[in-house]
Each structure stands twice: as C-alpha cells, then as structure tokens.
Amino acid sequence: MSALALSVLLSFVSAVAYAGGAVVQERVADSCSGERFAPLRRPGWWAALGLNGLGGVLHVVALAFGPLSLVQPLGALTIVFALPLAALFVGRRAGATAWRGAVMATAGLAGLLSLVGASGAGSLGPAQRTALALVTGGGIVALMVAARAAHRHPAVRSVLLATGAGAAFGMSSVFTKTVAVDWSAGAGLAGLPSLGVIAVLSAAGVFLSQSAYRDGGLAAPLATLTVVNPVLAAVVGIVLFGETFRHGTTGTVLALGCAVVTGGGLILLTTERLGGPAREASPSDTVRVPGARWPVDPSAPALTSVDAEPAVEGDDGDTPADPRPLPDVPLCA
C-alpha cells in the first residue's frame, strides 16, 4: 500500500472515531446540562475522550504519511459519519434539512480544499511557531469572551464555542504536521515546545466542543467545528507553507463557490436547530414556590380568593354565606 493510500485510509478511520466521540460527548452533555463538572463523573464522557484520542492518533499518523491539504479535508467526513451514528446508537434521527446541510457542507469543503495544491514537506521556524501560538490563543480567548457575553442566546454561544474548538483543533494539526516533519528530519528534542502547544490546543478543543454540544445539540456545533478546523489549517498552509490554489484564476473562483456552498450547508444545519419544535411541558416540569409545601405546576391556572367558594358558618345549609369578600391570603403557608 502506498503512503498516500495509507494516509487516506487512516483519515477515514480517524473521521469515524471523531464522529463516535462527538455523538457520545453530545449525549453526555445533554444529560448533564445543569451541572458544569458532572460529565467528568460519567464513564461515557471518558469513552468519548478515548474515541477523540484514537481519532487524534490516527490523524497524526495520517499527517505523517500525507500532505496537510489532503488529510484535513477528509476530516470533514466526521459530520457525515456522525449523523447516521447518532440515529443508530442514540435514536436521534436528523431531518431532511440536516442531511442536505451536511452534504452541502461536506461537498463544498472537500471541493474547496481539493483545489489547494500540495507543497513539499515544510516546517515553521521558532519565531513563526511562537507568533502562531500567540495569535491562536488570543483568538480562542476572544471567542470565549464573546460566548460568555452571549449567554442569553444558546445557539449563538454554541457556534462561538464550536468556532473556538475548530480553531484549536485546526492549529493543533498544523503544529502536529510541523513536528512530524521535524522528526522525519532528525530534529530530536527541538519539537518539545510544539508538543506542549499541541497538548494545550487539543485540551482546549475538547472542552470547548463539550460546552458547544451542551448549548446547541450536535448538528450545528459539529458542522461549525468540522468547517473551521480544515479551513483554518488550509489557510495556514497557503500562507506559511506556500500552498496555492490550482488552475490559477479559475481555481480561485471555484474555491470561492465551494466556500459559498459550505456556508449554505452550515446555515441549513443551524436553521434546523433553531427552528426545531419546542419541547412539550411534562408533569415533572414543576417549580417550587418559596414557603410552599409542594411543587406547583406552572401550566396550571393561578388560584385567587375570587375563585374560592364563599365560606359558610354551618354544614347544614341553613346559614347564609357571608356576603363580605374574603381577604387575599396566601394559599400555602
């Protein structure tokens, strides 16, 4: 098997592992929506972390055998694998709009990155790595601050967090490719600082994606993450590794069209999430009134003294009711 074919195979398996981890991670986040650190006590969360780790290892090996412009677009298959996995294992079926959005996002992204011409094995200098790490960290922090400011809009907050996760994962791939090139050239311990950057970015990506799934479900955050990750890596490849669009001006126009298709697919996924049917109230949806001895159903009509039957002095029906209005008193002491 050639190195290129092995890279493609590893990228496919990596996408399946990432998709499985995303489905499990979103499931755990949904069941622990009211507690910040509750997922850490769930075995499912650690299983999702293991799947993400497996996907990451396979991704690293794929980067060692293939170019960045080939391995990264294959990562877009994550969202294609995630939708059937969610339907198969957790019974969460995606609608027609989600499928159209997934197909559009994946096709547009694959077309966009397929137009990027692969360059030779190149690495980044120490100054470039430092600048790239600082810019990436600043951008992720800015997205986190914006997400915190948008806490009243869960969908917007979810997309912002997913964008930060995609940026973290994408730049982690850039540093991984750099370390792989250094090791193949016999650089030895020179790549240790880059390994630390990879660890920090990977951890940030995991926790940001966890928060994004908790606020926005699976489809829109995963679509955002899947698009931002390879696009950002491709931009770095073009700017720093000397990669260019193929076919000159024609390739640039085609790349712009693919970017529009990708954005349209992402909008479809987000629209389905925002326009989904509201959850019906259940008997367990109760609130507790301060001072009350039992929960109160918020859907039940409020009781007042006007609704109460007039009091009587006796139980034989001979004494007329007191015509004076009853005072407003609390129903529950």
The span from the CA of 172 to the CA of 57, in Å, is 12
Contacts of 185 (CB under 8 A, 6+ apart): 123
In this prediction, residue 181 carries a pLDDT of 75
In this prediction, residue 332 carries a pLDDT of 44
CB 175 within 8 A of CB 129: yes
The span from the CA of 88 to the CA of 39, in Å, is 22
Nearest to 105 by CA among 85, 81, 79, 123: 79
Q: Which residues are registered as beta bridge partners of 116?
A: 245
In this prediction, residue 183 carries a pLDDT of 75
Per-residue pLDDT 10s for the chain (333 aa) are 677 778 889 988 998 998 888 888 777 766 665 555 555 666 777 888 889 889 888 988 888 777 776 787 777 777 778 778 877 776 767 778 888 888 888 888 778 767 866 555 567 788 888 999 999 999 999 999 999 998 888 889 998 999 999 999 889 888 888 887 777 666 666 667 888 999 999 899 988 988 887 777 766 787 788 778 877 887 787 777 776 777 878 887 888 888 888 878 877 766 665 444 444 444 444 444 444 444 444 445 554 444 444 544 444 545 555 555 555 444 444
The span from the CA of 134 to the CA of 126, in Å, is 12
Rg for the chain, CA atoms, rounded: 27
In this prediction, residue 218 carries a pLDDT of 67
Nearest to 19 by CA among 103, 76, 60: 76
In this prediction, residue 307 carries a pLDDT of 47
pTM of the model as a whole: 0.62
User: Which tokens is 314 given?
Assistant: 């006796």
Classify residue 330 by its DSSP letter. Answer: -
Q: What backbone torsions phi and psi does residue 287 show, to the nearest 5 degrees?
A: -125, 155
In this prediction, residue 294 carries a pLDDT of 46
Angle (CA) 30 35 37, round 5°: 100
Q: How many other CB atoms sit within 10 Å of the CB of residue 245?
A: 19
